């Protein structure tokens, strides 16, 4: 089996599109992996991926970029701080606030939310119990996320006061304060194949499903996202992503350029203020 054929078949199997892949870099990585595993051809590797969930996760990780940053697309976090969270908290009947970050990489996204909450809302809302769930298909990313050690390059959008307060420098890395680390629950989870969670207030699904997944997988994920959110929940996707064509039946855009959507709820259709 040639590499291109392998890539096409494996992409379909993993629910990914195969066009955006940077073919050469990926070929090198896959060949290196074959050598590590003592395998000699792509056909045997394909079989291995189908039989072994760890290898499935390993390859998904290779085929999707895993780079992230704290406060990536700062405008999204600004919109959360000034509009979305105040709107959620204004009408809060329950005492918990549930957040889910899907494809969380090394934890930059869920930790950014945690820092935003700590800095701007925690004191004012002592009765709200914040729970942040962060999932990624790759166990290694999850372990790295729990460690909370970062290079300066993924901290460039972090405000200076937050950097000073919540990170300490150690051997060329920046280590996140333990209190923030403990506030996020990390779990290995494949969004395409595993059961979803429920009753979420905000779901981050950025730079994964709507970039790398095939159209069929995107629709499958979109339906899952609508189900896991509560009736007034919000979905945040990546700045360069678009939702599949079925979305108007499930979500309405709230902030177009920040790519923040609200779960479609017919009772909200009174005016934008009501919707928010
Ligand atoms: C580019 S990162 C996105 C990080 C973060 N959400 C952001 O926007 O900065 C994509 C992550 O998705 C993970 N991933 C790939 N396939 C996945 C799947 N099927 N389920 C869950 N996570 C997956 C990868 O391991 C990687 O860490």
159-163, 258-262, 266-270: range with lowest mean pLDDT: 266-270
- Separation of CA 64 and ligand 1 centre (Å): 7
Mean pLDDT across the chain: 93
Ligand 1 centre from 269 Cα, in Å? Answer: 33
Beta carbons of 205 and 244 less than 8 angstroms apart: no
What is the mean predicted confidence (pLDDT) over 49-69? 90
Cβ–ligand 1 contact at 72 (below 6 Å):
yes
Q: What is the 205 CA–ligand 1 centroid distance (Å)?
A: 9
Is 275 a residue whose pLDDT tops 70? no
The pLDDT of residue 64? 85
- The domain locations on the chain are 3-63, 74-275
Mean local confidence (pLDDT), 215-225: 96
Instruction: Work out which ligand 1 atom sits closest to the CA atom of 205.
Output: 6
97 Cβ inside 6 Å of ligand 1? no
Q: Give the DSSP H or E segment for 276.
A: none
Which one is the CATH code of 74-275: 3.40.50.150, 3.40.50.1360, 3.40.50.2020, 1.10.230.10? 3.40.50.150
pLDDT tens digits along 32-41: 999 999 999 9
110 lines ligand 1 (CB under 6 A): no
What confidence category does residue 123 fall into, taking pLDDT thresholds of 50, 70 and 90?
very high
Structural tokens at position 150 = 């970062």
Cβ of residue 73 lying under 6 Å from some atom of ligand 1: no
Ligand 1 pocket, residue 133 CB under 6 Å: no
Q: What is the DSSP secondary structure assignment for residue 268, as one 8-state letter?
A: G
Question: How far, in Å, is the centroid of ligand 1 from the Cα of 87?
Answer: 28
Residue whose Cα lies nearest atom 1 of ligand 1: it is 66
Task: Write phi, then psi, for 170 (nearest 5 degrees).
Answer: -150, 115
pLDDT band at residue 65 under the 50/70/90 scheme: confident
User: Cα–Cα distance between 197 and 22 in angstroms, integer?
Assistant: 32
The residues, any chain, with a CB within 8 Å of residue 219's CB and separated by 6 or more, are 244, 246
């Amino acid at each position: 089996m040639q590499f291109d054929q392998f890539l096409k078949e494996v992409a379909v199997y993993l629910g990914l599109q195969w066009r955006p892949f940077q073919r050469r870099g990926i070929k090198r990585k896959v060949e290196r992996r074959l050598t590590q595993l003592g395998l000699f051809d792509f056909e045997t590797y394909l079989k291995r991926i189908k039989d072994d969930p760890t290898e499935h996760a390993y390859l998904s990780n290779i085929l999707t970029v895993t780079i992230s940053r704290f406060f990536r697309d700062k405008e999204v976090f600004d919109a959360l701080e000034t509009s979305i969270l105040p709107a959620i908290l204004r009408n809060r009947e329950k005492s918990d606030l549930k957040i889910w970050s899907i494809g969380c990489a090394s934890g930059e996204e869920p930790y950014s939310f945690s820092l935003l909450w700590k800095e701007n809302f925690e004191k004012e809302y002592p009765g709200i119990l914040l729970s942040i769930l962060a999932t990624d298909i790759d166990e290694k990313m999850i372990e790295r996320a729990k460690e909370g050690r970062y290079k300066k390059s993924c901290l460039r959008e972090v405000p200076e006061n937050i950097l000073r307060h919540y990170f300490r420098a150690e051997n060329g890395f920046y280590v996140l304060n333990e209190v923030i680390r403990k506030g996020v629950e990390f779990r290995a989870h494949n969004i395409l194949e595993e059961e979803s969670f429920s009753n979420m207030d905000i779901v981050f699904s950025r730079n994964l499903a709507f970039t790398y997944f095939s159209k069929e997988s995107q629709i499958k994920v979109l339906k899952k996202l609508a189900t896991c959110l509560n009736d007034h929940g919000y979905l945040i996707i990546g700045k360069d992503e678009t939702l599949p064509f079925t979305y108007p039946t499930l979500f309405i855009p709230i902030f177009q350029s920040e790519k923040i959507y609200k779960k479609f709820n017919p009772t909200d259709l009174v005016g934008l203020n009501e919707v928010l």
